[in-house]
Structure 1
Amino acid sequence: MRRIRPLRRSRPGIGEDGRVTRAIRLIRRYPVVALTLAIGVLGIVLALVGQGWLVAWIFSIYALGVAAWQAVGMVRDILRGHWGLDILAVTAIIATVWVGEYVAALIVVLMLTGGEALEDYAGRRAKRELDALLTRAPQRAHRVLDDHYVDVPVDEVVPGDVLLVRPSEIVPVDGTLRSAETSVDESSITGESVPVEKRAGDALLSGSVNGPIAVEVVATARAADSQYQQIVALVAEAAASKAPVVRLADRYAVPFTVFSLLLAGLAWWVSGDPVRFAEVLVLATPCPLLIAAPVAFIGGMSRAARNGVIVKGGGVLEQLARAKTAVFDKTGTLTHGEPELVAVRPEAGFGADELLALVASAEQYSSHVLAASITHAAREQGLRLVEADAAREDATNGVVARLGGREVVVGKFGYVLEHAPDARRTAIAPGELAVYVAVDGRYAGALLARDRLRDNAHATLERLDRLGVHHTMMLTGDAQATAEHIAAEIGIERVRAECLPADKVHEVAAIAERPVVMVGDGVNDAPVLAAADVGIAMGARGATAASESADAVILVDDISRTAKAVEIGRDTVRIALQSIWLGIIVSVGLMLVAAFGFIPATAGALLQELVDLAAILAALRAIGGRRDAAAEPVRPRAATSAR
């Protein structure tokens, strides 16, 4: 390890007292609210010194000025064809000033401007987990230059650069550990709270936090291609979205406005007192309707992020809440995607060890998922692998390698049959797959492997059924017998095997029970993830194409997060609608009481502030921290698949 030279750091500035600083920050962020409060305090002071007439003029002029300012934006919206709920607030301000209820007018102004401020504040509170990802994005890296380290922008790091990561620093880009060992905190990426031990050569994810010792890391990706930056991009897309159910609140604008104006006008007509009109309208100011749904959906996305699922929009949560069918890819989704070697069946005089060594030597030059399993099994048995004189891979079919003067062909049966006419299929059990081998044009045998089912796959399907997702289907490119075996083991209703990507898209399009949730992990799943009502990518292994096509990305290698995403969607929509109707019902009830003259305008305005607060607090339940902490995890049943 090189001697670490201290890097120059900027000296933190010395600010005012923390509470004063926060107060100044809030005033700058919400100046109209601050000005309204200041005018209210000024009015109290003037009233105490006997200048009540001046208070009436100040409050009335200020309230009408705010009403005019709001009216300009309201007229612009109306000209664009959008009838908003601000009509009621502006009408209430004008009505209260007209009948001399200038204190109520100022409270309505505070309610209107304060409602916007409360929405912004609640949104910031709900997006805390999302914003944490954005603000923690690494900006600089310590790159090795000769015998010292130089600070460079993280965007300048290229694969192959050696970087220093100091204790408790964030790993700036994806890389491999060059030092002997370390421990890293990957909680912000995977949700795993326990530090992970790493050894030389292990992969490190950008965004994870290094442990107590400084280490050197070899970059394997640029910043833009690294895990953390991809998550940040997904988060930014999620935060900018607006859910369809939020637009439902906008559609309530016209009937709620008409009802409120009619009720206020009726109260005026029956009583003959114009004050009654103002008393009803101050309670019709619709801040709960405007605030509740956006806060709930932002909270739901924040809760999903905290549970290792990045949801790309509030509309996705609404679709998840209504989901009727769940469709799964098999390999890497319901199974681990890492087949294990279970048998070697040599032919033509080959021994088992000899055949395995030849196949593993050839598979060193293949990118197929089986290749890693076979080479790993050979090394575990202590077999010696040799380098090929020449090798080529025929994608999805197999590999041809020349090893010590012999031509070794490894791959699918049809591919090997082309090189060895005497090749014949071997018997396989359900759930197994075979890799065939030919040596110098003669059939040499087969290797059998099995992909292990995820321990909690069955429990996840049961949980989805309890959440209302009663229909299940598997789409896979694997053999029919293998697919049916897996489906029967975990209880999936329908199976379509030997699918090409286009076949998967057609199958999903034909499903009648919608919305459809599709869960997959590979590049070949990208088209069907984009075509489904909700596409969920198992993105823990960096399946970029799948993640970009999906509506939600699971950041950990855990299929149970699919059920968690559906649960969060259902909770979020339920809380959003509860909050909307809470605001409507309470406001309408108070308006009816006010129509009979039992609630003065000033008291009504104060009561409406409490209604606003209640709606926001109800919507913030969508963040769900306590609910997640109390929930029991999906318990894996005993594994029954053979190894």
Structure 2
Amino acid sequence: MGAVLGRTLAAARRFPWVTATIGVAIVAGVLAFTPWAEAGFWLIVTYVVAMALRSAWAMVRALLRGIFGVDIIAVTAIVAAVLVGEEWAALVVVLMLTTGQALEEYAAHRAQRDLTALLSRNPQTAHRVTASGEIEEVPVTAVMSGERILVRANELVPVDGLLVSAAGAFDQSSLTGESLPVEKVAGDEILSGTVNGAASVILDSVREAKDSQYQLIVALVERAAATKAPVVRLADRFALPFALAAYAIAGAAWWVSQDPARFAEVLVVATPCPLIIAAPVAFMAGMSRAAREGIIIRSSATRESLHRARTFAFDKTGTLTRGTPTLLEVRSEGSTAADALLRAAASVEATSAHVLAAATVSGAEARGIVLDHAEDAFETTASGVTAEVVGQTVAVGKRDFIAAHLGSDVRPAQIDGGEIAIYVAIAGAFGGVLVFRDQLRENAAETLERIRALGIRNLMMLTGDGQVTADHIASSLGLTDVHANCLPADKVALVAGASARPAAMVGDGINDAPVLAAADIGIAMGARGATAASEAADIVILRDDVSRVADALAIGRRTVNVGLQSIWVGIGLSLGLMVLAAFGFVPALVGAWLQEGVDVVAIAWALRATRPGSGQ
């Protein structure tokens, strides 16, 4: 009982105008059965007129900002009901307005819980290791780059850092959607916001908190949640015609019946809370759903743009493809077996930081090949590397590099578009070729089909790669509008020149930042909130999954559709009640309560935006 009373009192404090309205109704109701009934009448009249003046003042301030809202109908209904002696109906209209505001706040709180859950996990403290080896707990904002940090078992990593401990397992699901813990070894970067495993680890911080991964994502969420969108504008588009229709019906009913009470009865059921509440609730519900899918949409203006989008342009590398080369084929020459060639090449490449070196080592490990120890490694930047492996000199690199190493020409490998080859020499003889390809994402083609199914007919691919590579990838995806050899400025010009607008651009790299900023809708891919791309984007996909782009489009469209539907549902029900009231079938007090039911229906309809539906 005490807990129920406590919640009731908390709700009363949270929604004071609802509490005040109910209090006036209770006091006036009690006075109606006493000799002071007239005092109850004047209490209601005074209160509802004061509330009408409060709403009128808010309406005037909105008009000064150039916004015509539908509050004018509510104000007129309250005044008209008082003038015809329907003070209780006027009080119900006030109750409807105050509870409507309370319901909007409650619905917004309900819809935002996924966002606040993310914000609540923001690391607040860190365990800093001092020069003497002691551990001190400090605010995460006090951690500087280069400091040593202890992360205890099952704790959030407070700042981005390099792993000092030999190994560790980390849950990155909040950043990447990866469901299984990820194994890391000494030297690997650990992003803030990941959850440490069962053993404590030591990190060397590489960024301050404000520049670390999770804090940047939180900043994006805070901006998205704080943005006061043009959500009200969506309803205000209907405000003037709805008000004119309401006044026309009310005026006609009064003129035909010669009864001023009809005017009040029509306006009471015309009170436009569904228009005021429906769009904000739908938009907040859409924000909640997007957050659950790992999508941060920075403003409701972006949702409206998604609803109207006609063109989608995609960067290739890292967006439609994985952005990292994968070993496709090992072509050995002479007597060297394929596994032996790969073992020798990977043993040498393990000493290099080049992206193809990492792909070579990964390819060998995937085939279960154990690497040999390489000695006396020497790397020529952007050309190749040589080293001694099991008593033999092994060279790995570009064709020209290997030709110079051997002192003779090397025949170029036959490769398809989108492929790249590196060459291997062992003990002074040409050993063979390793072929790599930047693989398409498994769900890239399916994602494009979903986007087409959502009504987008203009799909473009923009890339800095050559035409042959671009055409190869595009043909695999069924894309015909392909632009190769693009510099950042070329991408900006192509997106800005798109004939079907609004135009969205999807990218992931720093070089994509200019075109993401220039596009009507910029969408940054992947869990890389620190990149310039995500800072320039209107939408950030937190998980490295291109299918979330189609999800963002579907959520944006459904959110606006549901908002519009809820507005039309409210308008339709209100118009029906207005017609019935015009013919005298709905007394003012009954109509006021029926309008409360219309509010509930409109809000329930708007909350459908939290769920998928109709293929979206």
Aligned residue type for 1:563: A
Could you say what secondary structure the match of 1:517 adopts? strand
Tell me the residue number matched to 2:257: 271
**Superposition map of 1:483-498 within 5 A:** 483-498=470-485
Shift of 1:218: 3.6
* Equivalent-residue separation in structure 1 for 2:514 and 2:398 (angstroms): 26
Q: Please point out which of 278, 300, 305 is paired with 2:291.
A: 305
Could you say what secondary structure the match of 1:339 adopts? strand
Tell me the residue number matched to 2:247: 261
Q: Please point out which of 132, 136, 142 is paired with 1:156.
A: 142
CA contact (8 A) 2:231 2:283 kept: no
* Equivalent-residue separation in structure 2 for 1:455 and 1:409 (angstroms): 30
* Equivalent-residue separation in structure 2 for 1:631 and 1:364 (angstroms): 50
CA contact (8 A) 1:138 1:171 kept: yes
Does structure 1 residue 480 correspond to structure 2 residue 463? no
Does structure 1 residue 99 correspond to structure 2 residue 87? no
* Equivalent-residue separation in structure 2 for 1:186 and 1:171 (angstroms): 10
CA contact (8 A) 2:345 2:424 kept: no
* Equivalent-residue separation in structure 1 for 2:487 and 2:331 (angstroms): 30
Q: Please point out which of 545, 552, 558 is paired with 1:558.
A: 545
Shift of 1:622: 0.7
Shift of 1:512: 2.3
Does structure 1 residue 128 correspond to structure 2 residue 113? yes
Aligned residue type for 1:456: N
Does structure 1 residue 537 correspond to structure 2 residue 544? no
Tell me the residue number matched to 2:416: 429
**Superposition map of 1:308-347 within 5 A:** 308-342=294-328
Shift of 1:383: 4.7
Greater shift in the superposed pair: 539-548 or 93-102: 539-548
**Superposition map of 1:61-76 within 5 A:** 61-76=46-61
**Superposition map of 1:315-394 within 5 A:** 315-342=301-328, 369-374=355-360, 376=362, 382-386=371-375
Tell me the residue number matched to 2:71: 86
* Equivalent-residue separation in structure 1 for 2:363 and 2:180 (angstroms): 29
Tell me the residue number matched to 1:144: 129
Q: Please point out which of 572, 577, 580 is paired with 1:585.
A: 572
Gaps spanning 5+ residues in structure 1: where? 1-15, 633-643
CA contact (8 A) 2:341 2:431 kept: no
CA contact (8 A) 1:361 1:387 kept: no
Greater shift in the superposed pair: 252-261 or 320-329: 320-329
Does structure 1 residue 280 correspond to structure 2 residue 266? yes
CA contact (8 A) 1:245 1:318 kept: no
* Equivalent-residue separation in structure 2 for 1:100 and 1:576 (angstroms): 36
TM-score by length of 2: 0.87
* 1:430-487 superposed Cα distances (whole Å, 9 cap, x missing partner): 3312457999xxx999753211221111222222222222332221112222221222
Q: Please point out which of 600, 616, 624 is paired with 2:587.
A: 600
1:70/1:243 Cα in 2 relative to 1: closer, same or farther (>3 Å)?
closer
Could you say what secondary structure the match of 1:303 adopts? helix
What value does the CA root-mean-square deviation take over the aligned residues? 3.7
* 1:162-218 superposed Cα distances (whole Å, 9 cap, x missing partner): 3333444322222344456655444433344x4514344354332233445544444
CA contact (8 A) 1:183 1:195 kept: no
Aligned residue type for 1:257: A
* Equivalent-residue separation in structure 2 for 1:269 and 1:94 (angstroms): 19
Could you say what secondary structure the match of 1:336 adopts? strand
Shift of 1:619: 0.7
CA contact (8 A) 1:521 1:543 kept: no
Does structure 1 residue 32 correspond to structure 2 residue 35? no
Greater shift in the superposed pair: 512-521 or 214-223: 214-223
Shift of 1:220: 3.2
1:246/1:281 Cα in 2 relative to 1: closer, same or farther (>3 Å)?
same
1:382/1:126 Cα in 2 relative to 1: closer, same or farther (>3 Å)?
same
Shift of 1:355: 11
CA contact (8 A) 1:362 1:410 kept: no
Q: Please point out which of 99, 106, 122 is paired with 1:114.
A: 99
Greater shift in the superposed pair: 457-466 or 375-384: 375-384
Does structure 1 residue 571 correspond to structure 2 residue 562? no
Q: Please point out which of 28, 41, 48 is paired with 1:43.
A: 28
1:386/1:183 Cα in 2 relative to 1: closer, same or farther (>3 Å)?
closer
Q: Please point out which of 245, 248, 251 is paired with 2:234.
A: 248
1:421/1:592 Cα in 2 relative to 1: closer, same or farther (>3 Å)?
farther
Greater shift in the superposed pair: 117-126 or 36-45: 36-45
Aligned residue type for 1:588: L
CA contact (8 A) 1:523 1:543 kept: no
1:542/1:59 Cα in 2 relative to 1: closer, same or farther (>3 Å)?
closer
Tell me the residue number matched to 1:454: 441
Q: How many residues align?
A: 602
* Equivalent-residue separation in structure 2 for 1:578 and 1:604 (angstroms): 23
Shift of 1:42: 1.6
Tell me the residue number matched to 1:546: 533
1:378/1:169 Cα in 2 relative to 1: closer, same or farther (>3 Å)?
closer
Could you say what secondary structure the match of 1:451 adopts? strand
CA contact (8 A) 2:349 2:360 kept: no
Shift of 1:607: 1.0
* Equivalent-residue separation in structure 2 for 1:331 and 1:413 (angstroms): 26
Shift of 1:289: 0.6
TM-score by length of 1: 0.83
* Equivalent-residue separation in structure 1 for 2:10 and 2:375 (angstroms): 67
Aligned residue type for 2:256: V
* Equivalent-residue separation in structure 1 for 2:7 and 2:605 (angstroms): 26
CA contact (8 A) 2:249 2:582 kept: yes
Tell me the residue number matched to 1:170: 156
* Equivalent-residue separation in structure 2 for 1:330 and 1:165 (angstroms): 37
Could you say what secondary structure the match of 1:478 adopts? coil
1:357/1:510 Cα in 2 relative to 1: closer, same or farther (>3 Å)?
farther
1:351/1:280 Cα in 2 relative to 1: closer, same or farther (>3 Å)?
same
CA contact (8 A) 2:399 2:412 kept: no
* 1:90-133 superposed Cα distances (whole Å, 9 cap, x missing partner): 11111111111111111111111221121111111111111222
Shift of 1:59: 0.6
Could you say what secondary structure the match of 1:597 adopts? coil
Greater shift in the superposed pair: 221-230 or 334-343: 334-343
Could you say what secondary structure the match of 2:440 adopts? coil
CA contact (8 A) 1:301 1:313 kept: no
**Superposition map of 1:10-21 within 5 A:** 17-21=2-6
1:76/1:463 Cα in 2 relative to 1: closer, same or farther (>3 Å)?
closer
Could you say what secondary structure the match of 1:327 adopts? strand
Shift of 1:140: 1.1
* Equivalent-residue separation in structure 1 for 2:94 and 2:294 (angstroms): 41
CA contact (8 A) 1:176 1:200 kept: no
CA contact (8 A) 1:191 1:306 kept: no
* Equivalent-residue separation in structure 2 for 1:213 and 1:401 (angstroms): 38
CA contact (8 A) 1:165 1:171 kept: yes
Aligned residue type for 2:547: S
CA contact (8 A) 1:323 1:515 kept: yes
1:86/1:547 Cα in 2 relative to 1: closer, same or farther (>3 Å)?
same
Gaps spanning 5+ residues in structure 2: where? none
1:308/1:79 Cα in 2 relative to 1: closer, same or farther (>3 Å)?
closer
**Superposition map of 1:438-453 within 5 A:** 448-453=435-440
